[in-house]
Amino acid sequence: MVKHDLNQALQRMRARNIPLTPQRRALLTYLYEQESYVAVKDICEAMVGEYPHVNAMTVNSSLHVFKQLGLVNELAVGGTSLRYEAAVCS
């Protein structure tokens, strides 16, 4: 089983001077705790308790940044649905 390194991902964000908001940190933490790909809908549902104003647009925006930094992998399912998983491994 591959172990994903959240600390390495956070360091990569700091090195690139990407703002690490509480919501982005929570999103990264959630992704790095998962053992498989997850959909944006699942991420939103998991975060809504702590961050009631998080929506799909916010999550997608952060995922785009994470993808550009190589922190997440994106998988197209059925040609229309996207799923995400942590990418930085130790």
The percent of residues in the chain predicted with pLDDT above 70, rounded, is: 94
Q: What is the C-alpha to C-alpha distance for residues 75 and 72, in angstroms, rounded to an integer?
A: 10
Ranking 10-14, 19-23, 74-78 by mean pLDDT, the lowest is 74-78
27-46 residue pLDDT tens:
999 999 998 899 999 999 99
Task: Catalogue all structural domains in the chain, each as residue range(s) with its CATH number.
Answer: 6-86 (1.10.10.10)
Residue range 60-74: average pLDDT? 94
- Secondary structure in 3-state letters for 12-74: HHHHCCCCCCHHHHHHHHHHHHCCCCEEHHHHHHHHCCCCCCCCHHHHHHHHHHHHHCCCEEE
Is the model's pTM score more than 0.85? Answer: yes
Write down the pLDDT at residue 3: 59
Residue 34: count other Cβ atoms within 10 Å of its Cβ: 15
What torsion, rounded to 10 degrees, do the Cα atoms 24, 39, 44, 63 define? 20
